[in-house]
Amino acid sequence: MPLEPLPSTMELALGTVQFGLRYGVAGRGSAVPADEVRDILVRADALGIRVLDTAAAYGDIEPRLAAVTEGLSFRIVSKLPPCPQELNTDAAAAWAARALEQSCERLGPALGAVMFHRADDLLEARGEAMWSACAPLAAARNLQLGASCYDVTTLARVRARFPITIAQLPGNALDQRLRLNPPAGEPPLELHLRSAFLQGLLLMPEAEAVERVPTAALALARWHAWCRTHGHDALSAALGIVKGMPGVSHCVVGVDSLAQLEQIAAAWAVAPTLHAPELHTDNPDATDPRRWPAPA
């Protein structure tokens, strides 16, 4: 049976990458205009969404986010940009501290957590120095410190070296590594999931999605056939499968219009928790956007 009886306690979080960059295979082709961003955020606040996900690398949105969220009740999670490879250990530590200070200055008291956007920065030789430079700054501001990873193995390696308390991983119908190998360990981890829709690939018509990412053709065929067989629309199915991922506190979704936010929030409210391990694929060319052809 695809339906599991236990309800999900996972909450929606709103991603902001579309507010600063052209993003996603199914996006509008440009960053969301500033006036629409404010409308989306006001509605998200009214819907009870309490967490925003941003990053210094998301175009110009991190510097603007404090202004466009004025008067709204969000906790913001941001990410430090990847550290320049040419920096030596001391320079990398100083760079990381400056990057953290900059995010604090930009986002103010709404900032609740900061992650290293490139988890490998912590695993390289400079990682100890970068962490040591950032940890006291984060503690002084009562910020969680963590890492954004591409797989549970990398997350485990980071946790073995550093006491992170927040992390982000991808997960969706085609990429269920998080369900197959859930993270474990101490300290307790606040886990955020991204890529619930694979940049919109799972919500596109099958032919259009295959044309965009041919290496995902077999996985997409299984996905659409499964949705038809079980009587689920793609949006509700994608969200329902995400709700079945273990240990996740927040599912980060991005939108490029107010209508999309309304659709996702409405679907989230009623989507059942689903279990479909047969949809998982081990083909990274299907599930890792870094391997996909560049958009035209």
In-domain check, residue 36: yes
* Mean pLDDT, residues 257-285 taken together: 96
| 245 lies in some domain | yes
Residues found in the chain: 296
Contact 32, 61 (CB under 8 A): no
215 pLDDT above the threshold of 70: yes
Q: Is 185 helix (H, G, I), strand (E, B) or coil?
A: coil
Q: What count of other Cβ atoms lies within 10 Å of the Cβ of residue 83? A: 23
**pLDDT in the model for residue 185:** 78
Residue 60 lies in a domain: yes
Residue 268 to residue 10: CA distance in whole angstroms: 10
Residue 52 lies in a domain: yes
For residue 123, the one-letter residue type is: L
Whether residue 92 contacts residue 128, with contact meaning beta carbons closer than 8 Å, is answered with no
89 belongs to a structural domain:
yes
Instruction: Give the domain range for residue 149.
Output: 11-291
Q: Is 97 exposed, middle or buried (0-12, 13-18, 19+ CB in 10 A)?
A: middle
The whole-number pLDDT of residue 5 equals 36
**Residue for token pair 């998982």:** 280
Average pLDDT over residues 42-55: 98
Percent of the chain at pLDDT exceeding 90 = 89
Angstrom distance (rounded) from CA 232 to CA 143: 40
pLDDT at 184 over 90: no
pLDDT at 296 (0 to 100): 62
How many domains is the chain built from?
1
Residue 128: pLDDT band (50, 70, 90) is very high
- Whether 80 is in a domain gets the answer yes
Residue 3 lies in a domain: no
- The yes-or-no verdict on residue 25 having pLDDT over 80 is no
> How far apart are the C-alpha atoms of 267 and 239, rounded to whole Å?
8
What is the predicted pLDDT for the residue at 21? Answer: 87
- CATH number of the structural domain spanning residue 138: 3.20.20.100
- What was the pLDDT predicted at 292? 93
Would the pLDDT of 236 be above 70? yes
Tell me if 5 is assigned to some domain. Answer: no
* Cβ atoms 116, 147 nearer than 8 A: yes
Q: Is the peptide bond before 187 cis (omega within 30 degrees of 0)?
A: yes
